[in-house]
Amino acid sequence: MGLLGSETFNSLDDLFLHELEDIYDAENRLVKALPKMRDAATEPRLREAFDEHLRETEHQIERLDIVFKTLDKKPERDTCEAMKGLISEGQDMIDAKGDDHAKDAALIAAAQRVEHYEMAAYGTAHNLALRLGNQEAANQLKATLDEEKSADAKLNEIAESYVNTAAA
């Protein structure tokens, strides 16, 4: 939700549209941030994970386009202050100096915060779509929710199997 102006929610439809516009903004910001995360990472598997999630994120934006279409709405962005903040924290990790492994662990920490935020956002949006009886939207949102969960699990696995032990 933007800092200026307040929303009006007269129905769950209004809320659903708002949630979609917020996520749409968040994903578009993330598409710009992920290549920088990848370039800052050292561990090849981590770089590959960022690359893979960049491709997934581009596809997730296309899924949101489909969801907007089910509502007969043009995709619009409503500034996601939370994602702005998470990306700004990610930028701090990108700019950080020091040990490569510790830095990779820092990048993972920032990326997992993003994934958890997205899991919350898509979980809510998916529930709203179901409540509103919009099965097509629910299917699209569920597909992305599952992708965010596996991206998070993959980051966890990389952190546990390599980065954290190497940095310890």
**Residues in touch with Fe ion (CB under 5 A):** 57, 60, 118
Which residues 6+ apart lie within 8 Å of 132 measured at CB? Answer: 12, 13, 16
**Taking the complex as a whole, how short is the minimal distance between the CB of residue 118 and Fe ion, in angstroms?**
5
Q: Please say which residue, 103 or 151, places its beta carbon nearer to Fe ion.
A: 151
Which residues 6+ apart lie within 8 Å of 106 measured at CB? Answer: 93, 96
Distance in angstroms (rounded) separating the CA atoms of residues 17 and 68: 8
Q: Please say which residue, 60 or 134, places its beta carbon nearer to Fe ion.
A: 60
Q: Please say which residue, 57 or 140, places its beta carbon nearer to Fe ion.
A: 57
Q: Please say which residue, 60 or 140, places its beta carbon nearer to Fe ion.
A: 60
**Taking the complex as a whole, how short is the minimal distance between the CB of residue 129 and Fe ion, in angstroms?**
16
Contact 62, 123 (CB under 8 A): no
**Taking the complex as a whole, how short is the minimal distance between the CB of residue 27 and Fe ion, in angstroms?**
5
Q: Please say which residue, 22 or 118, places its beta carbon nearer to Fe ion.
A: 118
**Taking the complex as a whole, how short is the minimal distance between the CB of residue 93 and Fe ion, in angstroms?**
19
Q: Which DSSP letter does residue 74 get? A: -
Distance in angstroms (rounded) separating the CA atoms of residues 106 and 7: 35
**Taking the complex as a whole, how short is the minimal distance between the CB of residue 148 and Fe ion, in angstroms?**
5
